[in-house]
Structure 1
Amino acid sequence: MLNKVKGKLIVSCQALDDEPLHSSFIMGRMAKAAKEGGAVAIRAQGVEDIIEIKKVTGLPIIGIIKKCYEDSPIYITPTKEEVDKLLNTKCEMIALDATERIRPNGESLKDLVDYIKSNGVLVMADISTYEEAVKAEELGVDCVSTTLSGYTKYSTQGDGPDLELIKRLSKDLKIPVIGEGKINTPEELRQAFECGAYSCVVGGAITRPQLITKKFVKSIS
């Protein structure tokens, strides 16, 4: 899978319970449209969406499950329970929060990484800082993604992708660095690749029409 996405675009197709496009059928069609536009893989949330998208597109899937727990701020594939559900979907890669924050139920990132890899599935570490990425590489993940930069209190805050983080990690890590998070324009995508990104994930700028519409409305308000 990693060879297939090198230098290419991954599209994130997600719509949570409170979003207007929340439907595995709709996400399947959204992913099909992304494939026709040139996406080579899909990042998807939830068992039903993943199964539908695999059926409709045949593309490799980066699977996640978002679930909130009272004892932790981590919500992207936070525990073994979510990992087990994702393993049953046969997705090619599982992404999980790899920040320094405490996991629910006192579970450890290392144990989850080892467990996923023991099942023959690739692991993507969603990180927010340079240090988290270095630690994730040491734990044996297959790639890191800058997904959470700007989404933890202690990481760099900004309106666009964390290009400096992508540049540093691409230079220093031996594993692929995936640019993800706040890539809002084709120009920002190009910049992420110029900074050394192995591949990039774009989500809301392509697949969340309510947010796209809001930008247009804001421009004339």
Structure 2
Amino acid sequence: MTFDTVLDQLRGGLIVSCQAPADSPLHDPVVIGAMAAAAVNQGAIAVRIDSPAHIAAVRDRVSVPIIGLWKQVIPDSEVYITPQLHHAQAVAEAGADVIAIDATKRPRPGGETLADLVQHIHDQLQKPVMADIDTLASAQAAVAAGVDILGTTLYGYTADTQQCEPPGFELLSNLIDQCSVPCICEGGIASPTAAQQALKLGASAVVVGTAITGIDILAQRYQAAIAHL
């Protein structure tokens, strides 16, 4: 797919994040692939998938765009979503159409700049980049670095936003008003009504994860609520 084709396909619909905790029985390529296929069968325009093994399994099941990432914990770094080029390369080789990266202003591992990473993904991997950001300032820096899509993914999950509760509708509105690339609302979308609100605010698409595919955390919440009655 060309950059423009992929970006056009990521407009106006539902993107389902199909992920599971590492210690869950659901954390299996076959299961993740089935989740993704089920979401696409019900109209999802794309899926968001973590790790090369899971991306490859999903690629075998669906033809819609895959937003791929690889969560990696690196010592002395808070950046964990596809932090370095070799992670992005593995994601691309597994079949992802878009590479999602941490684009916050936190120090990056290995000394590589955000602009360097984006340029390498464009030039070497020939893939568009989704910037997972937390603030308007990080979004503006990401656009300056050449990213193709913004996502509110890390709003509420960094030191600068730890007091904030997703979904980041105010941040989304600011991104739409002040940034020149498509903006995707991701994080904290817990109901169809919230998804509608994001699109009405001008989001190009909306990513829903836990509310659709988060069996572990949803079961845990229900159990915690009734355990002591």
Q: Is the 8 A contact 2:155 2:166 kept in 1?
A: no
Residue correspondence of structure 1 range 130-149 to structure 2 within 5 A? 130-149=136-155
- Secondary structure, in 3 states, of the residue corresponding to 1:56? coil
Counterparts of 1:7-86 in structure 2 under 5 Å? 7-86=12-91
What amino acid maps onto 2:168 in structure 1?
Answer: D
Could you tell me whether the CA contact under 8 Å between 1:64 and 1:76 is conserved in 2? yes
Residues 100-119 of structure 1 correspond to what in structure 2 (within 5 A)?
A: 100-118=105-123, 119=125
What is the distance in 2 between the residues matched to 1:140 and 1:34? 30
Q: How many angstroms apart in 2 are the aligned matches of 1:134 and 1:160?
A: 20
Letter in 2 for 1:15: A
Q: Verify the 8 A CA contact 2:189 2:195 in the aligned structure 1.
A: yes
Contact preservation (8 Å) 1:12, 1:203? yes
Aligned-partner Cα distance in 2 for 1:212–1:50: 24
Deviation at 1:90, TM superposition (A): 3.2
- The alignment covers a number of residue pairs equal to 221
Letter in 2 for 1:61: I
User: TM-score, length-normalised on structure 1?
Assistant: 0.95
Deviates more, 1:121-130 or 1:194-203: 194-203
> Which stretches in structure 1 are left out of the alignment for 5+ residues?
none
Runs of 4+ in 1 over 6 A off after TM superposition: none
Secondary structure at the counterpart of residue 154 of structure 1: helix
| 1:143-164 deviation line (CA, Å, top 9, x unaligned) | 1100000000112634430100
d(CA) in 1 for partners of 2:134, 2:86: 23
| 2:156/2:166 contact within 8 Å kept | no
Q: Which runs of 5+ in 2 are unaligned?
A: 1-5
Structure-2-length-normalised TM-score:
0.92
Contact 2:55 2:95 in 1 (8 A): no
CA distance in 2, matches of 1:156, 1:30: 30
Partner residue, 2:206: 200
- Amino acid across the alignment from 2:93: N
One-letter code of the match for 1:198? Answer: S
Checking the alignment, whether the CA contact within 8 Å between 2:56 and 2:94 is kept in structure 1 is: yes
